Structure 1
Amino acid sequence: MRIRVSNIVYGIATLVLFSFSIQAVPWEGLTSERLRLELETKFSEGQYSKKGADSCLMCHKKNATVMALFDGVHGQDSPANSPMAGLQCEACHGPLGKHNKGGKESMIAFGKESKLDAASQNSTCLGCHNDPKQMAWHSSSHNLDEVACVDCHKIHTAKDPVMDKLSVNDICTSCHAEVKAAMNKRSSHPMQWDQMTCIDCHNPHGSMGESALNQLTVNDTCYRCHAEKRGPFLWEHEPVVENCSTCHNPHGSINSTLLKSRAPLLCQQCHMDDGHASRVVPQDGQDAFGGGKSCLNCHSQIHGSNHPAGSKLQR
């Protein structure tokens, strides 16, 4: 049986094209999982460039964002443990391999445009940043919510905005919008004027305490500034001992002194059935129980008292 040569050539060409489409898929078109596996293979092979950043800059030196790296700490060759003092660009973006040969191999990309998941991106950062400040990262809400380090931090810049006291609140409230609304209420900590920052109380990398607080408890966090409320007191007010946030909203409130509700409504959440504490406040609010500071007209030492006759927190 005779077979035309043109048919044979066409069949070989089809086979070659099919094989190329399976084995040489452009890395831009790889799925997230396929990309991750390819990068793991590159790391295991460890084909780093002998010229380091010079190899990268042959193509990327005209990119202003890339060149801004050298203005920041990651782009300096001192201290000795900085990326630029070691594997340079490849310390974060992975082994060069054949990437510079027509972009045949992928590199680690960061940011919202990256196909790598947050955990894979963060693993690069955690390779160096594994000091005690990050010891609770894996159980932190940011990690569990798949927040990438670069969602908050900027590397290719002279100064990371999240490390600046005057801009860190803007970074945090870009996601925590409800906190931004609270900190602009009539009673709040001086966060809207950047005299106090989110990281004064919270550790964004996680902590051993609740709500990523720098201290183990809410009260210990508050006492760092409000030491006069710590006590010990001869006569204690149970909600104060238990949790400051029982009565106060630390991010802001429409009521004075960050109170969640106005007195006597706040007090009546616990004190409901002992005589005058449960009486209806007149509309004009001019009696001793509802006028002015309401309950605090008499019970002024609401956080505790050391007076021998202060069992009612009146003195």
Structure 2
Amino acid sequence: MKLILKVLILCAFFGGLGGASSALASDAPPQQGKSATATVALNKDAVCTKCHDESETKPILAIYQTKHGVKADSRTPSCQSCHGDSDKHLHGDPKQKGRASPDILFGTKRATSGSYAPTEVKVQNAACLTCHDEDLNRTHWDGGQHQVNDVACASCHEIHNAHDKVRERKTQTQVCFACHKEQRADTHKISTHPIDANKVICSDCHNPHGSAGPKLLKKNTVNETCFTCHAEKRGPFLFEHQPVNEDCTNCHTPHGSNITPLLKDRPPFLCDECHDGPHNSRQPYGTGAAGIQGGLLPVAAPNNNAVGRSCMNCHVMVHGTNSPAGAFLHR
């Protein structure tokens, strides 16, 4: 009997706890799930998507395949977040013939949306930077070359496309070369970085959203950017070559050249830009007549310093060396 009584007391005790927990659960406010958040967001977008549907020439609804279309995330913008409330576009404007343009229309003069002219670039970019202003990659946007030259975000990015070309390695260079045609031509020269093979792309070296360095480089200097890959040229060396320490582009052109390896000119002419005058004063520099061969043609007597690999025949380590021989003579 005592055992049965103890069991009944324990059952009553735990039953009371269960009832209390049930009461607490019933008093708690219901939480809004992700599905409810998505439903509210989609209903808000429906004001636009009831007309701008899959029949559009541009893939408008493909935005739901991008980060801008993840409606279960409360941070995801709606159509109105970017394009404005656009009341006149929705309900008409008695002062205007036909349907009015949305408050903010993205695009450029080269690629407008429908028959409407795109909104001013500053207004377009301000709409994007409302959300994309805290990323460190855009710290130097104001004052950068693209911002100063009124390049719109929509000039490079395709927000409604599931595959934004400028964000994918295979297609990024196509977007950049649409404006930078000189660099496109350089990539087809004999000596170049493997840009066409997509092993090196523009954003590996440049930050299009602004930079503290020159030419929108990701690092503060040209050399720092080059040393990201070419670490063996960094040094420090016992015997250093001053032009190398100053700027790699003193000798190299990074996008492509007809002289390997990416040189701006052929040695010894490249070297002569700084090291002028004969290397050995006992020999004539260049070519000259040293006699008559067969009584008809002059015999060329070129200086050894001006033929073949010229300076590089001896000065192999032009980027610097720790060899006791010094003067970049180490082989």
Query: What range is the shorter-chain TM-score in?
Result: 0.7 to 0.9
Contiguous gaps of at least 5 residues in structure 2: 1-40, 93-98, 289-299
Counterparts in 2 of 1:238 and 1:100: CA distance versus 1, 3 Å: same
Is the contact made by 1:298 and 1:314 (CA closer than 8 Å) also made in structure 2?
A: yes
Greater Rg by CA: 2
Structure 1 CA distance for aligned equivalents of residues 313 and 132 of structure 2: 53
- In structure 2, the residue matched to 1:313 is 328
1:231 aligns with 2:225: no
Task: Note the 1:188-267 alignment, pairs <5 A.
Answer: 188-267=192-271
Structure 2 CA distance for aligned equivalents of residues 211 and 257 of structure 1: 22
Moved more, 155-164 or 272-281: 272-281
- In structure 1, the residue matched to 2:63 is 69
Q: Percent identity?
A: 40
Asked which structure has the greater RCO (Cα within 8 Å, sep 6+), the reply is 1
Residue deviations 1:89-120, cap 9 Å, x none? Answer: 10110014343223457421111233422111
Which residue, out of 50, 56, 69, partners 1:58?
Answer: 50
Residue deviations 1:147-197, cap 9 Å, x none? Answer: 100000001111101000000011101100000011110001001221110
Is the contact made by 1:97 and 1:105 (CA closer than 8 Å) also made in structure 2?
A: no
Is the contact made by 1:235 and 1:306 (CA closer than 8 Å) also made in structure 2?
A: yes
Report how far residue 68 of structure 1 moved.
2.0
Counterparts in 2 of 1:205 and 1:90: CA distance versus 1, 3 Å: same
1:136 aligns with 2:102: no
Structure 1 CA distance for aligned equivalents of residues 237 and 106 of structure 2: 53
Counterparts in 2 of 1:105 and 1:273: CA distance versus 1, 3 Å: closer
Structure 2 CA distance for aligned equivalents of residues 153 and 239 of structure 1: 38
- In structure 1, the residue matched to 2:74 is 80
Q: Aligned-residue CA RMSD in angstroms? A: 2.2
Counterparts in 2 of 1:106 and 1:225: CA distance versus 1, 3 Å: closer
Is the contact made by 2:223 and 2:247 (CA closer than 8 Å) also made in structure 1?
A: yes
1:280 aligns with 2:273: no
Q: Normalized against structure 2, the TM-score is what?
A: 0.74
Aligned residue pairs, count: 262
Please tell me the residue identity of whatever aligns with 1:108. Answer: I
Report how far residue 314 of structure 1 moved.
1.0
- In structure 1, the residue matched to 2:89 is 99
Counterparts in 2 of 1:71 and 1:256: CA distance versus 1, 3 Å: same
Contiguous gaps of at least 5 residues in structure 1: 1-48
- In structure 2, the residue matched to 1:149 is 153
1:295 aligns with 2:311: yes
Is the contact made by 2:227 and 2:234 (CA closer than 8 Å) also made in structure 1?
A: yes
